Amino acid sequence: MSETPTTLKPIHRIQENVLARSERRLLNWICKRLPRWVTPDMLTFIGIAGAVLIFLGYVFSNIAEEWLWLAIAGYAVQWFGDSTDGSLARFRKIERPRYGYFLDHSCDGLATTMLVVGIGLSPYVTLEFALVALAGYLLLSIHAFLSVRVIGELKLSYLNAGPTELRFILIGLTLAMMAFGHGPGLFGDFSGFDIFVGIVGAILIVLFISQTAVVSRRLAKEEPARNEEWRNRP
């Protein structure tokens, strides 16, 4: 869902990911064909159901790697629910900006936590590395929510990648898990999957720091310090 809250200034959505235009055309095509009984809230919870499938697929991969196919199917379900709920609301002109924004981002946080923790509970990635990636995601989420409040911008993509591109990366990671198996590799006790997930988490944290610096400089220019005013006070 992509609805934004009602604030004193209009929200400028920044979405520069590679697949944005193609995905928008696909979502419009889907929304035109969804039956009337399908509601945005229903789609939101389908997205959560997809996240549950992803979590279970990774956890059950401790039993057999074939369970990873359940995680891949979960990514498709999660994309469908998460990407169409807000699109359907806008298509039918039934948006509820504050409610949609609150529910959508709450569910996004829950879904991402299940997804990343599931990866960390699989035999392929150490939980500590997965939690670094989760911390990076949550920091960027905090940045996005603060930006809505202070500059009226909602940034939906970084480095030309958004949620859909990230899902493709994670599906590729999951296929690699099935192809290469688990266990220590060239990095001693840590697998290549540990290193990959840790690097992704580090990139997200660096993005948070850099974006915080950019917005801070922008706000400092818009709200300069009033040192002279204090000096001139009796």
Whether 122 maps to a domain, the answer reads yes
3-state secondary structure of 156: coil
- Rounded Cα distance, 117 and 128, in Å: 10
Tens digits of per-residue pLDDT, 102-113? 998 899 999 999
Q: Which amino acid is at 69?
A: W
Whether 232 maps to a domain, the answer reads no
Whether 148 maps to a domain, the answer reads yes
pTM for the model stands at 0.86
Q: Kindly state the greatest CA–CA separation across the chain.
A: 77
Whether 16 maps to a domain, the answer reads yes
Percent of the chain with pLDDT over 90: 60
Whether 129 maps to a domain, the answer reads yes
Task: Residue 100: give its domain's CATH number.
Answer: 1.20.120.1760
Whether 107 maps to a domain, the answer reads yes
List the domain range (segments joined by +) for residue 217: 12-223
E strand map for the chain = 12-14, 153-155
pLDDT of 198 over the 90 cut: yes
Say what the pLDDT of residue 223 is.
Answer: 83
DSSP state of 208: H
3-state secondary structure of 55: helix
Tens digits of per-residue pLDDT, 121-144? 999 999 999 999 999 999 998 988
3-state secondary structure of 153: strand
- Rounded Cα distance, 37 and 56, in Å: 29
Whether 228 maps to a domain, the answer reads no
Higher pLDDT, 182 or 35: 35
Whether 7 maps to a domain, the answer reads no
**How many domains is the chain built from?**
1
- Tokens (6 digits) for 100: 């949609």
**Virtual torsion, Cα 31, 55, 13, 4, nearest 10 deg:** 80
Tens digits of per-residue pLDDT, 38-78? 999 999 999 999 999 999 999 999 999 999 999 999 999 99
